[in-house]
Amino acid sequence: MLFSIENKTALVTGGSRGIGRMIAAGFVAAGAKVYIAARKHEASEQTAAELAEVGTCIALRADLSTEDGCRALADEVAAREERLDILVNNAGATWAAPLEEFGEAAWERALSVNVKGVFHLTKFLLPKLRAAARPEDPARVINIGSIDGLRAPRLETYSYSASKAAVHMLTRHLAGKLAPEITVNAIAPGPFESKMMAETLRNFGEQIAASAPLKRIGRPDDMAGTAIFLASRAGSYLTGAVIPVDGGISTI
């Protein structure tokens, strides 16, 4: 039972595709009740229907780029559940442009979802997270950062890398504030198959895999396994950590 999350309730933002879907699928298969939330509700409903063939998955509509949007999602979860065991702040946005053309919209898009959205949603869900906390089993917040927040990327994604570095620091800050009732950790993914990475992997996937110490890109089980560890009793004594799941890329 060390890695069990059976009968826990989780919310995964951005859970309709990519890394969010990998985590949601892993949680559902492990016996958790999972809510997924995204701005594109039709895509969330389709993903929820597919995952519901395995377990319990429910789609919610959400726009996490504003404080009001975060409050609305928290209110929706509160209306449905007495407690929330696990919050995965995965929803994110990126932007790439040459330095000379990198304008305000690029910064607002990344920071509003990637940083402010993480903060506001966590803040509004604190009552439900605290309701789930037990002395030997804290509630869990898992933030999705990036190895681009650990070292400077080659692509001109200035606001994205800065926002993910901010997510890592916010994770540490919240971890100290919310202990012992709630643990707060971050996963810093490397290259995984996702819409955000699709073009990069299509053009440079083989080179990226060859340059990684483990000689491959990430698989869904790699991401799901790390999230399940953090959400289970096995990860109950870990807080304020940023865990690179990148095949060793951040070490070189």
Peptide linkage before 180 cis (omega within 30 of 0):
yes
Provide mean pLDDT across the span 214-218: 91
Under 8 Å between Cβ of 109 and 162: no
The DSSP 8-state label assigned to residue 137 in this structure reads B
- The 10s digit of each residue's pLDDT in 165-198 is 999 999 999 999 999 999 999 999 998 887 666 6
Both tokens of residue 66?
């504003």
Residue 192 is predicted with a pLDDT of 87
pTM of the model: 0.95
Q: Which domains does the chain carry?
A: 9-243 (3.40.50.720)
* 237 is annotated as an active-site residue: no
Under 8 Å between Cβ of 142 and 100: no
Q: Which of 35, 158, 160, 237 is catalytic?
A: 160
- Whether 204 shows a pLDDT value over 80: the answer reads no
Band (122; pLDDT cuts 50, 70, 90): very high
- Whether 33 shows a pLDDT value over 90: the answer reads yes
Least confident of 152-156, 190-194, 243-247: 190-194
- Whether 209 shows a pLDDT value over 70: the answer reads yes
Going from the C-alpha of 156 to that of each of 133, 150, 232, the distances in angstroms are 41, 15, 37
Under 8 Å between Cβ of 99 and 159: no
CA dist 132 and 130 (Å) reads 5
CB-count burial class (<10 Å; 0-12, 13-18, 19+) for 183 = buried
Residue 112 is predicted with a pLDDT of 97
- Whether 200 shows a pLDDT value over 80: the answer reads no
Provide mean pLDDT across the span 219-240: 97
